[in-house]
Structure 1
Amino acid sequence: MSQLVKQNRRKIFGLILLVIILLICMLSSLMFGIKHYALADIYNMSMFFNAQDITHIIIWKERFPRMVIAVVTGASLGMAGMISQLLTRNPLGSPSVLGINAGSIFFIVVFVVVLNVTDLNVIVYFAFLGALLAAVLVYLLGTVSNSGTTSVRIILAGIAVNAMFVSFTQIILLMNQKGMNDVLFWMAGTISGRTLDMLFAVLPFLLSALIVTCFLAGSMNIYASGESIAKGLGQNIMVMKLTLLVLMVVLAGGSLAVIGNVAFVGLIIPHLARSLVGNNYAWLTSYSIVLGSIFLLVADISTRLINPPSEIPLGVITAFLGAPFFIYVAFKGGRARV
């Protein structure tokens, strides 16, 4: 009992430490960029905002929205990755690997380029629809077998669906190259140029999904113990799977509708969280939220500092970090329990 109390104290301390790091990263996001600002500038902007001061305008109109968007979408993608690994029971599971990213981008391209839809509030629902279709296709392809569902089959189905949607997207853009500029906004994956209005269009969905996922931590612990055990404990497996699928689609699709095709966040974050707190989803949910926010904030800050005054697309940074991590987990044999 005393050992359990000590472990919980360590996890609480670790979470508090991560929250402090998150706050430092949020402050750094306001300070660092093509032009660096001091803490005094941030304080003066907060307390004595001057609409005629260019420093105040840049911090408030450009850097503050980037910071908020990175925090919310990073948390959402981290949680979506945790859910996808639980749902597929595979440490390689993530929205990007399962084709969720490609499905969302494909639907955005179809409705923006082909149907000339420009209303972000409408495009958000198309991103959700694309993510849902990709998730359903992966699940169906991964279960169409006499030998049942395996985590490897799910991953292979995800790779196939991802390749299919990427191919369809490229065909559409080749047939209508004039529309490429309209969708590079989402395809490149970046927070630069995004506004809070874009985030507000999906914020209710993301916050609701994050809250529901946290409340489902106990049920996820039961589900993670195995379907036979979960059934024996009275859990409705089909309802649980459907709920997890919807939550993953909302979290991943909503984030992609704002920042575009940013991959591998959902792969890396659950592994980092699991290395710190184990497989207890009561802790994994909170750690994934904070770590996801920190990761995307650091990645966004890096896009500004690596090659100033130019910015590197955020998707490039996350792919640079995520691709080797994917290879490492794959060669490790995927033995981590999820």
Structure 2
Amino acid sequence: MIHVTEETRSSGPVAAERAGRAGGKASPGVSDAPHPGGRGVRSGAGFGRSRVHRLLLLAGALGLLVLLCALSIAVGSRQIPLGQVLAVLTGPHDTQIGRIVWDVRVPRTLLGVLAGSALGVAGAVMQALTRNPLADPGLLGVSAGAAFALMLAVGVMGMTSLYGYVWFAFAGALAASVVVYVVGGLGRGGQTPVKLALAGIAVTFMLESVTRGVSLIDPQVLNRYRYWASGSLAGQETATILQVLPFLVGGAILAVSITPALNNIALGDDVAAALGRRLGRIRMRGALSVMLLTGAAVAVAGPIVFIGLVVPHAVRALSGPDQRWLIPLTALLAPCLLLAADIIGRVVARPQEIDVGIVAAFLGAPFFIALIRRRRLAEL
């Protein structure tokens, strides 16, 4: 959606198999999996990357995030000289430019960082729990479920408080996840990455259709839904963003707490159970983490797709499959992609702008097509 902005108005490890494809045969006894203590065996498939290499990646990702945050504050659909932006950041901001920077761009940047990290970490956790390379909150119906429940709360029940309808977003995200995994497991062969992706797309389209139908009841709700459904970082106040911060922090803590167990699950359920992991409890905590992260992000930014799909794959290629490093790196790089998409959307259609959800889909769709066209879609 193009609109006038606020500024202008004011089942088992695959390491051995991959080694066999690369070198002709798999070396016995060498795996890419962590031992029961959670530390990875130093093989050449990702866990062998040095700590210094990964620390440099973390430092580089943090530096890139800081740079994009600065660009997000300095660049917008309204051109403001950099000197004036710096002046209102360090001095009084009761001018028109000060209100644009502090009331529009700073909250927008903060929301981009929080929503991007939430969607990226949620996607990484989903991919690790299911060993499905196509897992993403937007593709597997989680975002659509949260959006559907949120629209029911706002459009039908008349809720206006964020603390009132955010719980509906959590419930919708959980219900949609259950439906997708049940539908994706039907038929011969059980759950496969492609079947889950197809089930997620089908559930997403169904929920989006019903959501649009519900929004037609009230023209005012329809206008709000049309703006929100495309995915946007604009129009939220800092107070509103801070209201969802506890949910995002709770989801992130849950995700980090299960990273050693996710390394064990990469070996397969049987091996993880033999290593002492309680799979039911781990999956429960992982599902709760995804629900909190996705529900809170969707409640304030709308359904944004491909962030949770693209970034974990890119991070995995850079740092290896060790979840103890993959999750923090994803939390830093996912908002970089979202902020970059938001900046592009602001400048390509000046003085109007393109919503970040549209730009993110444009950037992520080629990656998704390339991923599903791979000759063999292996489990993670």
TM-score normalised according to structure 1 size: 0.93
Deviating more after overlay: 207-216 vs 149-158: 149-158
Work out which of the residue numbers 343, 356, 371 in structure 2 matches 1:314: 356
Say which SS state the counterpart of residue 79 (structure 2) adopts: coil
Distance 2:216 2:225 in 1: 13
Moved more, 119-128 or 265-274: 119-128
CA distance in 2, matches of 1:265, 1:67: 16
Question: How many residue pairs are counted as aligned between the two chains?
Answer: 337
Cα offset, 1:197, TM superposition: 1.9
The match for 1:328 is: 370
Number of the residue aligned with 2:71: 28
Over 3 Å counting, the alpha-carbon distance change for 1:334 and 1:301 in structure 2 is farther
- 1:281 paired to 2:323: yes
CA distance in 1, matches of 2:227, 2:165: 13
Shift of 1:146: 7.4
Q: How far apart are residue 337 of structure 1 and its match?
A: 4.7
Q: Tell me the equivalent position of 1:257.
A: 299
Change (3 A) 1:46 1:310: closer
- 1:227 partnered with 2:269: yes
Aligned-partner residue type, residue 34 of structure 1: S
CA displacement 1:297-316 (0-9 Å, x = unmatched): 11111111011000101111
Match of 1:47 in 2: 90
Q: Which has the higher mean CA deviation after the structures are superposed, 251-260 or 133-142?
A: 133-142
The one-letter code of the counterpart of 1:126 is F
Deviations 1:260-311 (A, max 9, x none): 1211111111111111111110110111001111111111111110110001
1:6-54 deviation per Cα after TM superposition (whole angstroms, max 9, x unaligned): 7221121121111111111111111001233455434433332242x22
Trace 1:69-218 onto structure 2 (pairs within 5 A).
69-144=111-186, 148-218=190-260
Deviation at 1:156, TM superposition (A): 2.9
**Paired amino acid for 2:323:** Y
Which moves more between the two structures, 284-293 or 154-163? Answer: 154-163
- Secondary structure at the aligned position of 2:354 is classed as coil
CA separation in 1, counterparts of 2:364 and 2:376?
Answer: 16
Which protein is bigger by CA-based radius of gyration? 2
TM-score normalised per structure 2: 0.83
2:89 alignment partner AA: S
Q: 2:149 corresponds to which letter in structure 1? A: F
Q: For residues 147 and 238 of structure 1, what CA distance do their matches in structure 2 show? A: 22
Q: 1:91 to 1:333 in 2, by over 3 A?
A: farther
Gaps of 5+ in 2: 1-41
Change (3 A) 1:148 1:64: same
- Does the 8 Å CA contact 2:248/2:296 hold for their aligned counterparts? yes
1:14 and 1:285 mapped to 2: Cα distance? 13
- SS class of match (2:353): coil
Richer in helix (by share): 1
Letter of the 1:89 counterpart: R
Q: Report the equivalent of 1:11.
A: 54
Q: Work out the CA distance in 2 between the residues paired with 1:56 and 1:14.
A: 35
Q: Unmatched 5+ residue regions in structure 1?
A: none
More deviation, 22-31/118-127: 118-127
Q: For the structure 1 residues 293 and 336, does the alpha-carbon distance in structure 2 shift closer, same or farther, using more than 3 Å as the test?
A: farther
The question of whether the paired residues in 1 share the 8 Å contact of 2:49 and 2:319 is answered with: no
State the SS of the aligned residue for 1:201.
Answer: helix
Residues 84-115 of structure 1 deviation map (CA, whole Å, 9 limit, x = unaligned):
21222211110111101111111122222222
Q: Distance in 2 between matches of 1:301 and 1:336?
A: 35
- Cα offset, 1:170, TM superposition: 2.6
Per the alignment, residue 10 of structure 2 pairs with none
How far did residue 244 of structure 1 move?
1.1
Cα shift at 1:118: 1.6
